[in-house]
A and B are shown apart, each in its own frame.
Chain A
Amino acid sequence: SAVISQKPSRDICQRGTSLTIQCQVDSQVTMMFWYRQQPGQSLTLIATANQGSEATYESGFVIDKFPISRPNLTFSTLTVSNMSPEDSSIYLCSTNRGGTDTQYFGPGTRLTVL
């Protein structure tokens, strides 16, 4: 299985600030995905990040609010900008590893916005 790490594991932030979440994979992968899980809810895809191109955002998510970087084939960042309490969620990165069709997830970043 893929080894995916995320930093930070959790954070408590003030309204109006921004937080950048890092995702590191232990091997090169083509696509990385960012999901949001609001409290008590299911997972919703924010965007898909391919190396060397702009991320593709799902309906309801915009680049100004959730800018994503994908500088190489093992790393990606998601920034949650100008945060409000509604952004309090678990943010998870995910990828397929080794050319398989199974998607593995990082441990998640638990964000609380006050």
Chain B
Amino acid sequence: AQKVTQAQTEISVVEKEDVTLDCVYETRDTTYYLFWYKQPPSGELVFLIRRNSFDEQNEISGRYSWNFQKSTSSFNFTITASQVVDSAVYFCALKRDTGRRALTFGSGTRLQVQP
């Protein structure tokens, strides 16, 4: 069975602070995919990143960066110099490489960035 844990229910920071959202996953598969999605107040789910299990390179995209560590089954997401527009619920998700390939979501972390 697969499981994704986002232990941080809610985080509040002040604008320009850096913030890291944690994601720990469990799977018996050797090949899988990890995702981060952003859900702003409008409700739409916005894709941020996909990482394959065989690619442990960290990735940076503007103010966003992701740290994938297979040894600790973690896929953490850091926002540098946070902005009010970053306020949203962020979901980490896991997908198998076989079978129905639907996503298993974590419980989400609500990020509030105060001006």
Binding site for B on A (CB under 8 A): 1, 31, 33, 41-45, 48, 56, 90, 92, 94, 96, 101-105, 107-108, 110
User: Which residues of B lie under 8 Å from residue A41 when comparing CB positions?
Assistant: 107
Chain B residues with a Cβ closer than 8 Å to the other chain, count = 20
Q: Does B115 contact A (CB under 8 A)?
A: no
Q: Is A42 a contact of B100 with CB atoms below 8 Å?
A: no
Q: Is A103 a contact of B100 with CB atoms below 8 Å?
A: no
Q: Is A48 a contact of B35 with CB atoms below 8 Å?
A: no
| Min distance, Cβ B31 to any Cβ of chain A, angstroms | 10
| Min distance, Cβ B34 to any Cβ of chain A, angstroms | 11
Q: Complex: how many Å from CA A104 to CA B91? A: 14
Per-position 1/0 for B19-43, Cβ under 8 A of A: 0000000000000010101000001
